[in-house]
Amino acid sequence: MTNLGEPVVGRPNLVLPLAILAAGVLMALLVSRGLQFRRDEDLSRNLEAYAGATARLAESRVDDLYEALRRRAELWDALMRGDLVAWHRSADVFLHENPAVLGLVQTDPSLRRPQTAGSPDGQWVLDEVTPKARQGAEASAGLGFAIGPIRLEDGRSVFAVEQRIASEPHDKPRSLLAVYDPRLLLERGLEPADPDYALSVSANGMELYRRAEAAGAAGLERAAALKPSLGAPWTLTVWPTARAMAAHGRDQGPLVALVAGLMISVLAASIVHVGALARRRARALAVANDELREQVQDARRSEGELKRLSDELEARVGERTAALNETIVELETFNYSVSHDLRSPLGAISNFAAILGEDYREVLDSTAAEYLQRIVQSATVAASMMDGLLAYSSSGRQSLNKTRVAMKRLVEEVATEVAAAWPQLECKMEIGNLPEAYADEGMMRFVWSNLISNACKFARPDQPPRVEISGQASDVEVTYCVRDHGMGFDMRYADRLFKVFERLHSADRQQGHGVGLAIVARMVRRHGGRVWAQGAEGKGATFYFSLPAGQERDEDGGRRT
Amino acid sequence: MAAGEPELLLVEDDSNDVAVALRAFRRHALAERVRVFRDGAELVEYLLGQDRCRTAPKAILLDLKMPRMDGRDALREIRAHAETRHIPVVIVSSSSRECDVRECYALGANSFVVKQLTPWSPGEYLVNAARYWLDMNEVAS
């Protein structure tokens, strides 16, 4: 391909097709014009030929008449002088033979008066014309003359022709005057009429004869001079008839050539243009194809890239998760071993302080004994806290074993246990209707035990503890509630209740690990539930926890809280 | 029963615990019947070694966490030999983890006692345990 430089986008190149179109149109026009020119040329030449021929013919008709007149004049001069009867007979024959001649006047000095011959019309014409003819005759000196056209009153135009017989120069002239109608002469003389041509003969600006059409088409008429042997020349004008023009117009060669040429040029231009378009389209398609192929390759590449990134991400997430799990396990292990390993030295402190107090009771004074007591006490508290931490730690690792739990029965058991554990509290418990739950029974036992014993322990000193336990089920969850009428707490610290080692009451007054509620919260959350509390200082506390409505499916989902 | 041979073996690497235990045994006149080993290797040497004892002890109080051979390995060793398989082994550990307890019973422990931290009478729980195994439990000879 040589025109690779051509722009692929934008308007197609129209130069070539337009050039072809223009050249074609020009050629068609030229051919058409040429044809037309030749046609017109033919017409013109034909006209001219016809004009010439007709002029010659008309001329010869007129000259024939003049010659006939001359011969008759000579004949009559030689043979018939004085014999008027013979002259008239001969004149009638002549008039009969030449119908264009309207009348004859024989003038001879030997005659008393000029003799006339002709029809009554001819006589009338002669009367009209003769005076004028006489003037003309006198004006002319030759052997003959012709004057005309002379316009008659009835509109006809006639010619007067005189032939003189001059035997002697000074003789009184003898002459034959004839008046003829050129229309009649030409009408007969120019037959048969050619239907293609109209013609008009005029003399001295006056039309003598017209055939067919009223007027010629402008520029198409042709004139030819007609020179009779006597008188002024006539003019013959020829033009094509409407029929001929129509026939001429029907010659559709130029039009056909023009139309055909135009069609051919349009066709050629279209073919070239369509070809160019097709090539252009093909190139565009090729380019688009290449682009598409590239895009497909790009897409493949980015797909691969995406997959690689996704794999990478997955791998990273996996690594992170593994790392996190490892960290969690490490933390639990750390928590466990710290609690566990610290017990030994702590135990030693507690033990030896106690031993010191017992074995050397006699030696130690009361203050020393009290200090030793404090050491033992603190170590015991520390050990208790470690036990709490251990319990909290293991509550996170413990697996969840969900079953249908009859909460009412469970709470009754726990309440009995709590009452047995702290008989001195004389705790009064009111257990309402408790909907069953789908939960880990062991954990639920811990939860209830913790909440109920707390409710009993944090009683007001002035009245025995009273605990109300109730529950309620909705479509999405079951909610349980443990209400006491004890010391209550400040709602500002409500969220601290469920944290490890947070105490809202001083450690002196109440015992415990300080992790019970934290473990409760952890266990409830591991079930997908919530735990919260309401209360006021001195007005009792209410602890709530909710569990998702019991569906028979595993809702732990490996969650670790 | 040959004189001088201990009836109760206490295997414990922590000297504090050993001191507390021995004090408690002394207070209840049991110290004469107890011999202390610092780790599992010493115990196994005593029970199964070249210069082994001639009379099996009535019970072994075995700590779990020890340097060198620990309580589990020692227990495996004891249960692996016909001469010692029948000796009651009481695990004494500061761990109360369920998995530890279960594992020890699976290895053939006869009892599992958690080291107790009481603000009064330190080591008294060991005396209670020792009394049972020494005076109440019948052993196979």
Q: Which residues on A lie below 8 Å from B117 (Cβ)?
A: 343, 346-347, 350-351, 379-380, 383
Nearest-by-Cβ selection for A351 from B95, B97, B122: B122
What is the chain A residue with the closest CA to B13?
A: A344
According to DSSP, the β-strands at B8-11 and B34-37 are parallel
The Cα of B134 is separated from the nearest Cα of chain A by a number of Å equal to 24
Give the CATH number for residue B125: 3.40.50.2300
Q: Which residues on B lie below 8 Å from A351 (Cβ)?
A: 16, 20, 117, 122-123
Residue A561 has a pLDDT of 39
Q: Do A350 and B117 touch (CB under 8 A)?
A: yes
Concatenating the DSSP letter of every residue in A490-533 gives: -GGGGGGGGSTT--SS-TTTS-S-S-HHHHHHHHHHHTT-EEEE
| Alpha-carbon radius of gyration of chain B | 14
Please state, in angstroms and rounded to a whole number, the distance separating the CA atoms of residues A88 and A419: 189
Cα four-point dihedral sign A122, A123, A129, A130: positive
Please state, in angstroms and rounded to a whole number, the distance separating the CA atoms of residues A552 and A555: 9
Q: What is the total count of domains within chain B?
A: 1
Q: Which residues on A lie below 8 Å from B101 (Cβ)?
A: none
For residue A546, which phi and psi values (nearest 5 degrees)?
Answer: -125, 150
Determine contact, residues A414/A448, Cβ cutoff 8 Å.
yes
Determine contact, residues A197/A243, Cβ cutoff 8 Å.
no
Q: Which residues on A lie below 8 Å from B20 (Cβ)?
A: 348, 351-352, 355
Please state, in angstroms and rounded to a whole number, the distance separating the CA atoms of residues B62 and A153: 178
For residue B135, which phi and psi values (nearest 5 degrees)?
Answer: -110, -25
CATH class of A398-548: alpha beta
Q: Which of A332, A351, A376 to mutate to test the interface with B (most CBs of B within 10 A)?
A: A351
Residue A1 has a pLDDT of 42
Q: What is the pLDDT along chain A (561 residues), one digit of tens a residue?
A: 444 444 445 566 778 778 888 888 888 888 888 888 887 788 788 888 888 888 888 888 888 888 888 888 877 777 666 677 777 888 888 888 888 888 888 777 777 777 788 877 777 777 777 777 777 666 666 677 787 788 877 778 888 888 877 655 555 667 788 888 888 888 877 766 677 788 888 888 788 888 776 666 666 777 888 888 787 888 888 888 777 777 776 677 777 778 888 888 888 888 888 888 888 888 888 899 899 999 899 888 888 888 888 988 888 888 888 888 888 888 777 777 777 777 788 888 888 888 888 888 888 888 888 888 888 888 888 888 887 877 887 777 778 888 888 999 999 999 888 888 888 878 888 898 899 899 999 899 999 998 998 888 888 878 788 889 999 988 889 999 999 888 888 888 777 788 877 766 654 445 566 788 888 998 998 898 999 998 888 888 899 999 998 665 444 444 443
Interchain contact B95–A (C-beta under 8 A): yes
The Cα of B135 is separated from the nearest Cα of chain A by a number of Å equal to 26
Q: Do A354 and B95 touch (CB under 8 A)?
A: no
Tell me if residue A382 falls in helix, strand or coil. Answer: helix
The Cα of A334 is separated from the nearest Cα of chain B by a number of Å equal to 14
Nearest-by-Cβ selection for B94 from A344, A359, A380: A344
Please state, in angstroms and rounded to a whole number, the distance separating the CA atoms of residues A360 and A280: 115
Q: Do B122 and A344 touch (CB under 8 A)?
A: no
Please state, in angstroms and rounded to a whole number, the distance separating the CA atoms of residues A495 and B93: 37
Region of B54 (left: φ > 0; alpha: ψ -120 to 50; beta: rest) is: alpha
Tell me if residue A359 falls in helix, strand or coil. Answer: helix
Dihedral angle, C-alpha A148, A154, A156, A157, nearest 10 ° = 10
Please state, as a whole number, how many other Cβ atoms lie within 10 Å of the Cβ of residue A372.
20
Enter the ipTM: 0.81
Nearest-by-Cβ selection for B95 from A340, A358, A383: A340
Strand locations in A327-426, DSSP E?
402-405
Domain residue limits at B115: 8-136
Interchain contact B72–A (C-beta under 8 A): no
Q: Which residues on B lie below 8 Å from A377 (Cβ)?
A: 119
User: How far, in Å, are A92, A115, A159 from residue A108 at the CA level?
Assistant: 18, 9, 21
Residue B2 has a pLDDT of 45
B79-109 pLDDT tens trace: 999 989 999 999 999 887 888 899 999 999 9
Interchain contact B110–A (C-beta under 8 A): no
| Residues of A contacting chain B (CB within 8 angstroms) | 336, 340, 343-348, 350-352, 354-355, 358-359, 376-377, 379-380, 383, 390, 394
Query: Which residue in the block uniquely carries the two structure tokens 């051509």?
Result: A6
Burial B114-128 (b: 16+ CB within 10 A, else e): ebebbbeebbebbbe
Please state, in angstroms and rounded to a whole number, the distance separating the CA atoms of residues A216 and A249: 15
Please state, as a whole number, how many other Cβ atoms lie within 10 Å of the Cβ of residue B90.
21
According to DSSP, the β-strands at A437-440 and A466-473 are unpaired
Domain boundaries, chain A: 15-249, 398-548
Domain presence at residue B96:
yes
Dihedral angle, C-alpha A482, A483, A488, A492, nearest 10 ° = 60
Domain presence at residue B3:
no
In chain B, positions 44-63, which contact chain A (CB-CB < 8 Å)? Answer: none
Contacts A–B by Cβ distance under 8 A: 52
Q: Which residues on A lie below 8 Å from B115 (Cβ)?
A: 343, 347
Domain presence at residue B15:
yes
Q: Do B115 and A343 touch (CB under 8 A)?
A: yes
Q: Which residues pair with A145 in a beta bridge?
A: A162
Q: Do B17 and A346 touch (CB under 8 A)?
A: no
Six token digits for residue A103: 């009348």
Residue A512 has a pLDDT of 60
Q: Do A352 and B16 touch (CB under 8 A)?
A: yes
Q: Do B16 and A343 touch (CB under 8 A)?
A: no
What is the chain A residue with the closest CA to B15?
A: A348
Six token digits for residue B40: 């599992």
Residue A123, burial from CB neighbour count under 10 angstroms (0-12, 13-18, 19+)? middle
What is the chain B residue with the closest CA to A348?
A: B16
Using the 8-state DSSP alphabet, how is residue B33 labeled?
G
Burial A60-82 (b: 16+ CB within 10 A, else e): ebbeebbebbbebbeebbeebee
Flag whether the pTM goes above 0.80: no
Say how many Å lie between the first and final Cα of chain A, rounded: 74
> Which one of 2.30.42, 3.30.470, 3.30.450, 2.40.10 gives the CATH number of domain A15-249?
3.30.450
